[in-house]
Amino acid sequence: MNVNGRPMRTIWPAADCRAVEIIDQRLLPHELVVARLTTRDDVAHAIKNMAVRGAPLIGAAAAYGMMLAVAEDASDARIELSVAVLGATRPTAVNLWWALDRMRIALLPLPPRRRHEAALALAGEIADEDVALNRAIGEYGLPLIEAAWRRKGPDGPVQILTHCNAGWLATVDWGTALAPVYRAHDAGIPVHVWVDETRPRNQGASLTAWELQQHGVPHTVIADNASGHLMRHGRVDLCITGTDRTTAAGDVANKIGTYLKALAAHDNAVPFYVALPSPSIDWSLDNGDDIPIEERDAREVTHIAGWTGTGERVEVRLTPEGSPAANPAFDVTPARLVSGLITERGVCPASREGLLGLFPERDARAKALLRRAAFGIRRFVDTGEIE
């Protein structure tokens, strides 16, 4: 997307292909700082301390982290260790493991001398694919906003509520939940976005507001607790959020607070959509309660960062000294509260049937795996041999 009129992505390989450059999102919206990451560990730190964040971007960053890892040492042991190091950064976003598995499977069969070049190419492919998937999400989500506009008639803009940041800053470009919003805005459909501040790290207040402002999309930042009230008073036409991991049965893990928005939306008959590229689907899980939920440092709750009038970044304490705090970073919204999933292949119900309708190859794969398992069991029963 454009920043001050210039197209920009959130991550890109440095010209010498021996480093990766990112927008350090911890300093937004007040400073636009490009950071240079030169080692695998730099990337791991950037994911852990959230200089880069958002499930699809975490996946792309991990892929580039593998590229930097094999630039230093292209051995099998290095690849295995780097998958473990990068994989240990954050537990909830499934895109992380999706990207690491893809890199590992592609690199191990290659001779070490070819691994850096191949890793660079594949990380670039994963980044470009992410952009294409998000564009498609924008196309398939647009009719949902158009329909809301038609329902409203002349009664002002389509009021969309979003939680956290699932815009282009959370991906390589275009975003997921915000992609249909950008498409609608660019198509001349009047939209207005209610932006949840999204405590405790305020991704909404700092990142979503910034990128909507950059694109000229009307928006209003609200306290997280204001959204139920706005829905109850008919000031929200639809909700669109992102996801860090959606199960094969449509349960959605996303930023803490998303579940509460879905409950309020359900109680007020406000459509609640979740936008996701397919790498955010965990086909090995049905039940959302099996998704690992990250617990982050309590300091993110007890303290808050901001900018003084003279442009310094300061952190201040909110809570009394010694008061304990807890900081679960994500929650799970059960499929029953999700009106639909907006994917790169279309919109479907939040269910196994819905997702397999758009991704039938996953059903075949699941069946093949089952057949294989059954064969293995039968063979063991017959011969006592393990396959």
Tell me which residues are annotated as active site.
244
Task: Please report whether residue 261 would count as binding ligand MRU according to CB under 6 A.
Answer: no
Q: Of residues 197, 237, 244, 282, which one binds ligand MRU by CB under 6 A?
A: 244
Strand positions, DSSP E, 168-261: 191-196, 219-222, 238-241, 245-247, 252-255
Task: Please report whether residue 203 would count as binding ligand MRU according to CB under 6 A.
Answer: yes
Kindly indicate which of the ranges 76-84, 240-248, 284-292, 363-371 contains the residues binding ligand MRU, using the contact rule CB under 6 A: 240-248
Q: Of residues 255, 302, 335, 359, which one binds ligand MRU by CB under 6 A?
A: 255
Question: Which value, in Å, is the radius of gyration of the alpha carbons in the chain?
Answer: 21
Residue whose pair of structure tokens reads 């758009």 in the numeric block: 358
Task: Please report whether residue 171 would count as binding ligand MRU according to CB under 6 A.
Answer: yes
Nearest to ligand MRU of 306, 328 (CB atom): 328
8 A C-beta contact, residue 314 and residue 302: no
Task: Please report whether residue 354 would count as binding ligand MRU according to CB under 6 A.
Answer: no
Nearest to ligand MRU of 78, 261 (CB atom): 261
The least CB distance from residue 273 to ligand MRU, in Å, is: 13
Task: Please report whether residue 243 would count as binding ligand MRU according to CB under 6 A.
Answer: yes
Residue type, 172: V
| CA distance linking residue 24 with residue 47, whole number of Å | 11
Which two three-digit tokens encode residue 127?
């980044």
Kindly indicate which of the ranges 47-55, 221-229, 339-347, 359-367 contains the residues binding ligand MRU, using the contact rule CB under 6 A: 47-55
Could you please report the per-residue DSSP string of 234-279?
Answer: T--SEEEE--SEEETT--EEEETTHHHHHHHHHHTT--EEEE--GG
Could you please report the per-residue DSSP string of 24-79?
Answer: -GGGTTT---EEEE-SHHHHHHHHHTTSS-SHHHHHHHHHHHHHHHHHH--SHHHH
The least CB distance from residue 58 to ligand MRU, in Å, is: 7
Task: Please report whether residue 176 would count as binding ligand MRU according to CB under 6 A.
Answer: yes
Residue 284 φ then ψ, to 5° = -90, -5
Kindly indicate which of the ranges 151-159, 165-173, 217-225, 260-268 contains the residues binding ligand MRU, using the contact rule CB under 6 A: 165-173
Site residues, ligand MRU (CB under 6 A): 53-56, 93, 164, 166, 170-171, 176, 203, 242-244, 254-255, 329
